[in-house]
Structure formats: C-alpha cells, structure tokens
Amino acid sequence: MPSPFPGMDPWVESAENFRDLHNSLVTYIREALNAALPKGYIARGTQLVWVDDELHREPDVGVFGRPDPPDGGTALATLAGAVAVSEQPVPEPWEQPYLEILTTEGKRLVTMVEVLSLSNKRGGDNGRVSYRQKQQECALGGVNLVEIDLLRGGAHTTAAPEAELRRTAGPFDYHACVMIAGDTVRYFAVPIRLAERLPAVPVPLDPGVPPVSVELQPLFDRAYDTGRYADWIDYRRPPDPPLAAEQQAWAAGILKEKGLIP
C-alpha cells in the first residue's frame, strides 16, 4: 500500500521509522545510479564510522561489540603496585551507509551521495561532527557531494550556506544540495515542498561528463511499500516533528479522504 501523501510522508520522519527508511533509500539510490551511470563509473556502498561516546542504540547502524570473557564474567586487569580507580565502558564505533561514485579505471572517487540521517542533523552528536568533517574533505579533495535532506527537524547540515540557501531557494520543507568541487566550490539546491512529489536530483560526475539524474519519488514509494509502513504507522497520532497548522490541516484532509483517520 503506497503512502497517502503525494511526496514525502512526514510520519516516516520519526526516529522509529526514518532509521529503517534511510537504509532502504541508500540501497535503492545505488541501484538507480548504477542503471544510469555511463560506462566507466560505478556506485558503491560504503560506511561512515564514528565513535559514539554516549552509546546511542540506533538500529540503522551496525554495532561492533566486544566479546564477553570466556568465563562469562568481567575481565578485570590488575597491575601490581597500582590502585584500581574506576571502570568505564569503552566507546563503540558506529557505521552509517552512504554512496560513492568511482571510476572503474583507477578506482578514483568522483562523487559522494548522502541521505542525511537523524544523527547527521543532531547538534553535538559525534555523527554530526564526523559528517561535517567529511563535507570539508570532499571540498578540499575535489570530490562532488550530493546531499538529500528529507528531515524537517534538526540543525541545517547540508554543505550549502544556510542563509544563501534560504535566500535563493525560497521556502522549502526538504531539499537536496549538490556541491560541485573544483578550484571554486559551487553549490546548487533542489527545494522540496511537503505537498509536492519528490523531484529528480542531478548527480554530477567529472568535468565534461553530463550529470545523471535520480528520480526520488519512485524510490521513496518503493521503500515505503517494502518497509510496510502502512501497517506500522498510526496516522491518528501527530507526526514527529509536528507540522505547522496549515500543513496539519492539509494532511488531515488527505488522511480523512483515504479513510486513515475519522
């Protein structure tokens, strides 16, 4: 069953839903890219790894645990002549998937494609710090960056300066940012309104090579269907984050028409 909304579904932005949706979107975007990329380029999945010192338990990322001691107890190191002071859990590394477009000859990195996650937009989180560092590395290393932000909440995180983005793109609820690296870094934006279908996003390659395009709406529809969100989401509850009053009235009209709320 498809989402009741024509574009992005604000009910899948909550933590319990978006973590799952994020992984599906990354997989489906990789498939779409590899179907569209010209000969000599390939899209590959990889992972951003960071250390989470607050031990967030997020199911959208892999956890590398440490094995328990063979006797099932606590492994306690002792040092002769030293006094034991305290014990603390060791921070665990976390992984978050994103995409790289590389040349098949020489395996040269050309473009990164990122679907922003909850941790990317959460101020103070180590995932956000690591992500911002990756943005800088792309700009300095001459690597293009495509960022798809389908989250209304959280801090502004895409590479485009926020003030310039809002001045030039006008009002938007979601957006994609395309950074083309070079001697001068250029930023482009694809603004997205809640009531609109998700658009196509251009993905740049090398200079002189035409960009390819990824249609987001069919990929989101596929992720929604395969994730069975229609069976999971209770549309009688308000979305997280909440909608503005005008948007809530618009959403309620759609949900009533579809028979999802009384």
The pLDDT score that the predictor gives to residue 95 is: 57
Q: Please list the pLDDT of the chain residue by residue as tens digits (262 residues).
A: 899 999 999 999 999 999 999 999 999 999 999 999 999 999 999 865 544 544 333 333 332 334 444 555 444 456 777 877 766 554 444 457 899 999 999 999 999 999 999 989 987 767 788 889 999 999 999 999 999 999 999 999 999 999 999 999 999 999 999 999 999 999 999 999 999 999 999 999 999 999 999 999 999 999 999 999 999 999 999 999 999 999 999 999 999 999 999 9
The pLDDT score that the predictor gives to residue 58 is: 37
* Calpha distance 23→222 (Å, rounded): 12
The pLDDT score that the predictor gives to residue 88 is: 56
Pairing mode, if any, of strands 186-192 and 174-180?
Answer: antiparallel
Neighbours of 153 (CB within 10 A): 14
Q: Which residue stretches of 101-244 are H helix?
A: 126-141, 162-169, 216-226, 229-232
* Calpha distance 255→230 (Å, rounded): 12
Q: Nearest CA to 5 among 191, 218, 251, 229? A: 251
Answer yes or no: are the C-beta atoms of 8 and 220 closer than 8 Å: yes
How many residues can be counted in the chain?
Answer: 262
> Considering the entire predicted model, what is its pTM?
0.83
The pLDDT score that the predictor gives to residue 236 is: 97
